[in-house]
A = this chain, B = another copy of it.
Amino acid sequence: VTTSPEPAGRSPRPRRRRAARGQGELLRDEILEATEQLLEDLGDVEAVSIRSVADAVGVTPPSIYRHFADKTDLVFAVCQRQFERMALALRGAVAGLDDPVARLEHLGRAYVRFGLDNPEHYRVLMMGHPDVRPPGFDVTSLLADAAFSLLLEILRDGMAAGLLREIEPLDAGIAVWTAVHGLTAIAISKPDVALPVVDRALETVIDTQIRGLATPAGLAAWERHRAAGVV
């Protein structure tokens, strides 16, 4: 039996160098990043244990508690981060586009793409159990601050420009959101539905949503853009 500090064959993550005195906060970021990675790799929040996070960072489990109150606190800190990233991705996707209908289309595409690129984070953010939330973590308001308000803004702009039918923006917003969410969620939960099918369905979803929401003028303009390859 060898008791060498570096046993061959398996690597117990290299013990991390201890942070300097005022730098305790450095570990916090490393923990967040490791948790994010594990969440994506293991594909299940339940499978991500405090022990596995500690091991991934190269630290012992109790160290986690110096930075997070408990596991829920940690998981939701990761979610908060991811939410911000999603908002950024969505804003980026419509930046530089003027036509509200085109903005709507690109927003939808970016949303689905973000979900498919980060399935496990998307699951935790959007498909989790309502009661698994730390107090004060209000998804609706987070969403309102970030991406949903952007959607509403686009819808209002489109209506004002006579390109979208005049209906209650909140209702239209939820309808659009649930449409892209539905496709994303199905793609994540049912990999039986092959990716090419998902891609074609996405085109249909976008097409259906725009036909369903646009005025005749808006639809005509959008189709012209499309045919011209502008969008």
Contacts and interface: CB of A to CB of B under 8 A. Distances in A.
A189 interface: yes
A177 B183 CA distance: 8
B186 A178 contact: yes
B138 A192 contact: yes
Quickly give the copy total for this chain: 2
- In which size bucket is the chain A interface? 35 or more
Contact of A189 (B127, B179, B209): B127
Interface in A129-153: 129-131, 138-141
B178 A201 contact: yes
Contacts of A207: 212
Given A178-B179, A182-B182, A201-B175, A189 B126 contact: yes
A57 to B, nearest CB: 25
B213 A127 contact: no
Contacts of A213: 208, 211
Contact of A175 (B141, B168, B204): B204
B209 A208 contact: yes
Contacts of A177: 182, 186
Interface in A185-231: 185-186, 188-193, 197-198, 200-201, 203-205, 207-213
A204 B127 contact: no
A127 B124 CA distance: 12
Contacts of A167: 204
Interface in A2-38: none
Q: Which of A129, A204, A207 counts the most B-chain CB atoms under 10 A from its CB?
A: A204
Given A171-B200, A174-B193, A174-B201, 6 more contacts: A130-B190, A177-B182, A181-B186, A182-B183, A208-B209, A210-B212
15 contacts: A43-B129, A126-B186, A130-B190, A140-B193, A168-B204, A171-B200, A171-B204, A172-B204, A174-B183, A174-B198, A175-B183, A177-B186, A179-B205, A181-B182, A207-B212
